Amino acid sequence: MIASVIRASLAAVLLSGTLVAPAAAAAEIPFETVKGWDVERSAGNAGPGVCIMSRAYKDADDGNAANAVVFALEGSNANLVLVYEKWNWDKTETVKAPLLLDKKVYAPKATWVGNGTTLTAQFPDSIVPNLLAAKTIVLKFDDGAADFKIPGFAEGYESLRRCNLAKPAAAAGSAATSP
């Protein structure tokens, strides 16, 4: 179940101004796994900023519901995809939900785009230092909140940066795993 959730979320991440098709998402090239974050290069894309980091887990506090966080850089933007298996958003449904990092409001009027179990938003890359310091991403809705755990984000982000800087052949060959 978690693998299908990750594939769905990867399909929603914006890269090079277009949505990655589900077939292309299935062809990601592993770069490395760091502290629970999988870093992958988009197959067939040799440009800069083509790597994605993702973390999927089951939330024991929510009946083992599958959750995932996907993050990618695109120029001066940061793409964030949150996946929760119990969501059922209409395709391209627009949702307004404040984004909190830990308990601090980062974007009080964030706009998210829904698609099934995913919500996707784009922020300026200035969000990165805030994400590096956070342990949880929280979306506030009128009827409650959704929280996503992001331990090891800093280490995953460093791997993402290395992946984005690496040449495609080197990225495919370095698919290493670290604890």
> pLDDT category, 166, cuts 50, 70, 90?
confident
Could you confirm whether domain 2-172 is CATH 2.60.40.10? Answer: no
CA angle 109, 101, 12 (to 5 degrees): 70
| Structure tokens, 128 | 């990165």
Residue 54 predicted with pLDDT over 80: yes
More confident call, 88 vs 22: 88
The residue count for the chain: 179
- What would the pLDDT profile of 84-122 be if each residue is shown by its tens digit? 999 999 999 999 999 999 999 999 999 999 999 999 999
Average pLDDT estimate for 67-91: 96
Average pLDDT estimate for 114-136: 97
Q: CA 171 → CA 22, 26, 49, 61, 78, distances in Å?
A: 21, 17, 13, 36, 21
The domain spans of the chain are 2-172
Query: Considering only CA atoms, which of 138, 133, 111 is closest in space to residue 122?
Result: 111
